[in-house]
A and B are shown apart, each in its own frame.
Chain A
Amino acid sequence: EAGVAQSPRYKIIEKRQSVAFWCNPISGHATLYWYQQILGQGPKLLIQFQNNGVVDDSQLPKDRFSAERLKGVDSTLKIQPAKLEDSAVYLCASSLAYQETQYFGPGTRLLVL
C-alpha cells in the first residue's frame, strides 16, 4: 500500500514570496491533516479536513496561510507572503477516520531567507 506522498521535499524562498505544498493521502483515507514542525518540537496542527470539508483550522494563520482539499483526495497548502518564522517542516498526514491512527508523509522542508 502506497504511503502519504508530499512534494516538493525541499523549498528555499525569499521572505514575502509565495509557496505551495502538495499532499496525496493514503487511498481511502477520509481525514487529512497539515502540520508544522519546528526543529526540536512536536508537530503543530494547522488544519484538519474530513473528506473535502474543514474540521478545524483554528491554528492556521489565515492572513497568510490557505489550504484546500478539492474532491476529498489530495490537498494543497499555500503560504503568501512567507515570513522568516515560517521556516519549518510541513507534514501531511492521513487517517481512515478522524479518530484513527494518523500516517505521515516525508514532509517538505521550507527555508525562508
Chain B
Amino acid sequence: EDQVTQSPEALRLQEGESSSLNCSYTVSGLRGLFWYRQDPGKGPEFLFTLYSAGEEKEKERLKATLTKKESFLHITAPKPEDSATYLCAVQATDSNYQLIWGAGTKLIIKP
C-alpha cells in the first residue's frame, strides 16, 4: 500500500537553529514528491517538486533533497516567519497521479 510518513510531528527550534524535516514514502512507482507549506487558516502553498533520487532544490532558507526512500527539508538559520506546518505528498505513476499526503510537521521557530 502506498504510504507517506512525516517526522517529527512537531519541532520547536530557536531562531537561527538549523534542522531537518523527514518524509519517508512507500510507493510502487514515484513520479514526483511535493513539499507544501501551510499557515494556520490558509490552504497549502507549493514549495518544491522533486522527481529523481539525488535531486535538490532550494528556496531562501529551505533546501529539499530526495533519495529512493525519503526526502528531507533542510531549514538553515530559520526565522520566526518560517513557523508553519510543512506537508509532504507523493505522486505515484499508477494512481491517476493523485497525491498521497503525509500528516505534516508543525514547525515553531522561537525568537
Contacts and interface: CB of A to CB of B under 8 A. Distances in A.
A109 B41 CA distance: 8
Contact of B43 (A4, A41, A42): A4
Interface residues of B, number: 22
Interface in B62-111: 87, 89, 91, 96-99, 101-104
Contacts, number: 52
A81 to B, nearest CB: 26
Interface of B: 4, 31, 34, 36, 41-46, 49, 87, 89, 91, 96-99, 101-104
Interface in A68-100: 91, 93, 98-99
Contacts of A45: 98-99
Specify the main secondary structure of chain A where it touches its partner. loop
Given A41-B103, A42-B104, A104 B98 contact: no
Contacts of B89: 42
B46 A107 contact: no
B102 A42 contact: yes
A55 B43 contact: no
